[in-house]
Structure 1
Amino acid sequence: MVKHIVFWKLKEEAHGNNKETNALLIKEKLEALSGKIDGLLKIEVGIDFLGGANYDVALYSELATKESLDTYQNHPLHQAVLPFVKEAVADRKAVDFEI
């Protein structure tokens, strides 16, 4: 199993929205991928409530294999979400590990 974890710090404004609205839209768009991509076992998106130096949005996902991670990252449904996320993001941190 592979765990794919990503943290995003959002721009104050993007897509004509404030970062709170964009955080909700990112959550909605990514969680909509659940059950639609082979090998994607679990996907959760959380929005930070403390602010400050914390990152704004976190993605936690579980995938069956390393190949499943590649399938997820290159899947057309995931690729369709990326432009929205990239435009809204100021900084990104990620880790992928196998258990």
Structure 2
Amino acid sequence: MSIRHVVSWRLAATDPAEKAEHAARIIAGLESLVGVVDEIRSLTVGADVAGGDNWDVVLIADFDDMEAVARYQAHPEHQKVGAYIRSVVAARMAVDLAF
């Protein structure tokens, strides 16, 4: 059984340029973890293109099991990216699905 880790963030910035910059930095930071954090089996991250009341950025990442998710979350490089994300978001939603 594998785990699909899905996280969405709503950014705190209201200025469109600032919001786009924050989203780009989140995306680049998370993408930089591929090949660094061995537990990541696949990772897709991107900014919402529809606008409106949608969440601003979403991450979809696959792992072998929940223990691998925990190791990913504890990895020092993930912690660095997470610190930046926490500094620019207003809300977070996460779901871990078995597939």
Please name the residue that 1:28 is paired with.
Answer: 28
Asked if the contact 1:39–1:65 (Cα under 8 Å) also holds between the matched residues in 2, the reply is no
CA distance in 2, matches of 1:39, 1:22: 25
Counterpart residue number, 1:38: 38
Unaligned runs of at least 5 residues, structure 2: none
Displacement after TM superposition at 1:38 (Å): 2.0
Counterpart of 1:5 in structure 2: which amino acid? Answer: V
Aligned to 2:7: 6
* Number of residues of Structure 1 aligned to a counterpart in Structure 2: 97
Q: Which residue of 2 aligns with 1:58?
A: 58
1:70 matches 2:70: yes
More strand by share: 1
Q: For structure 1, list consecutive stretches of 5 or more residues without a partner in the other structure.
A: none
Letter aligned with residue 2 of structure 1: I
Aligned structure 1 segments of 4 or more residues deviating by more than 3 angstroms: none
Taking the aligned partners of 2:21 and 2:71, their CA distance within structure 1 comes to: 29
Contact 1:73/1:79 (8 A) holds in 2: yes
Question: RMSD across aligned C-alpha pairs, in angstroms?
Answer: 1.5
Q: 2:48 is aligned with what amino acid?
A: D
Taking structure 1 as the reference length, what is the TM-score of the superposition? 0.92
Percent same amino acid among aligned pairs? 36
